């Protein structure tokens, strides 16, 4: 299957690529250094990406960011950045994917457990993650029989905790999270939020 992977060079994207590549053709996408350039915050660049890759069996998004800042310090610009990037970027990815995904193929988005388990500073991220899950459930309904839409919700990833100077034992490995994306791509489910967190 041809798989378009947005955010392919990141912590999760690298592991998903490693896991999928023996069986699938992975087309990497991100703002820099990938097969295809895309900026999720710019809808025109998403349209241009799909024009370039044409048709795929699956689209996976592990790209896009949101600001992690306590509410008192969260500016209008920080809210706007977060909504335009990780939330509307992924919403627009699904909208633009219609017509470029094989019948029965899938789009798999990424939220995160901060949607349900907030932390101080997670307001913008929690809004974005919850919004992605809400949108995906509706998109799955409306495109039933055409395109499957699911979300993977990762908990803290061990490699990310290490890079933050925190204890990686509190997180799930990127390799284990990658297996959940593989399940979403190769399975038949739609409208689901698949949890990928340390038990
Ligand atoms: N790691 C964790 O602990 C964790 C936990 C919960 C949820 N998540 C979520 O999982 C996803 C991936 O996390 P990660 O740790 O793998 O992130 P990462 O290592 O920072 O990688 C993100 C990737 O996305 C690309 N990207 C960022 N903004 C983009 C944009 N506007 N348009 C296109 N590409 C963009 C980046 O490449 P360029 O800069 O070249 O574009 C990079 O390849 C994120 O949505 C994150 O919120 C992560």
Q: Ligand 1: which residue has its CA nearest to atom 15?
A: 11
Choose the residue to mutate in 10, 39, 60, 121 for probing ligand 1, maximizing ligand atoms within 8 Å of C-beta.
10
- CATH number for 30: 3.40.50.720
Q: What whole-number distance in Å separates Cα of residue 4 and Cα of residue 6?
A: 6
User: Is residue 10 lining ligand 1, measured as CB closer than 6 Å?
Assistant: yes
The answer to whether residue 94 scores a pLDDT higher than 90 is yes
pLDDT in tens, 20-31: 998 999 999 999
CA-based R_g, the chain, Å: 16
User: Is residue 160 lining ligand 1, measured as CB closer than 6 Å?
Assistant: yes
The pLDDT-based confidence of 199 (bands split at 50, 70, 90) is confident
Q: What whole-number distance in Å separates Cα of residue 106 and Cα of residue 56?
A: 9
Which of 103, 85, 8 shows the shortest CA–CA distance to 46? 85
Domain count, the chain: 1
pLDDT in tens, 44-64: 999 999 999 999 999 999 999
pTM: 0.98
pLDDT in tens, 107-138: 999 999 999 999 999 999 999 999 999 999 99
Q: Domain limits at 89? A: 2-196
What distance in angstroms lies between residue 139's CA and the mean position of ligand 1's atoms? Answer: 22
Return the ligand 1 atom nearest residue 39 CA: 32
Mean pLDDT of 78-86: 98
Q: What whole-number distance in Å separates Cα of residue 6 and Cα of residue 63?
A: 6
User: Is residue 57 lining ligand 1, measured as CB closer than 6 Å?
Assistant: no
Rounded mean pLDDT of the chain?
A: 97
């Amino acid at each position: 299957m041809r798989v378009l992977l947005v955010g392919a060079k990141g912590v999760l994207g690298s592991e998903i690529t490693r896991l999928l590549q023996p069986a699938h053709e992975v087309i990497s996408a991100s703002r820099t250094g990938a097969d295809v350039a895309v900026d999720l915050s710019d809808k025109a660049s998403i349209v241009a990406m799909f024009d370039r890759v044409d048709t795929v069996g699956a689209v996976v998004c592990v790209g896009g960011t949101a600001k992690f800042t306590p509410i008192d310090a969260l500016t209008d610009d920080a809210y706007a950045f977060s909504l335009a990037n990780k939330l509307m970027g992924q919403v627009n990815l699904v909208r633009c994917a219609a017509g470029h995904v094989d019948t029965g193929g899938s789009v798999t988005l990424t939220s995160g457990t901060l949607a349900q388990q907030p932390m101080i500073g997670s307001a913008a991220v929690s809004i974005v993650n919850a919004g992605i899950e809400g949108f995906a459930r509706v998109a799955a309904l409306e495109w039933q029989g055409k395109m499957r839409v699911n979300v993977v919700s990762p908990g803290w990833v061990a490699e990310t905790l290490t890079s933050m100077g925190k204890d990686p034992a509190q997180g799930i490995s990127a390799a284990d999270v990658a297996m959940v994306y593989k399940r979403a791509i190769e399975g038949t489910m739609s409208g689901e939020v698949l949890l990928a967190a340390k038990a």
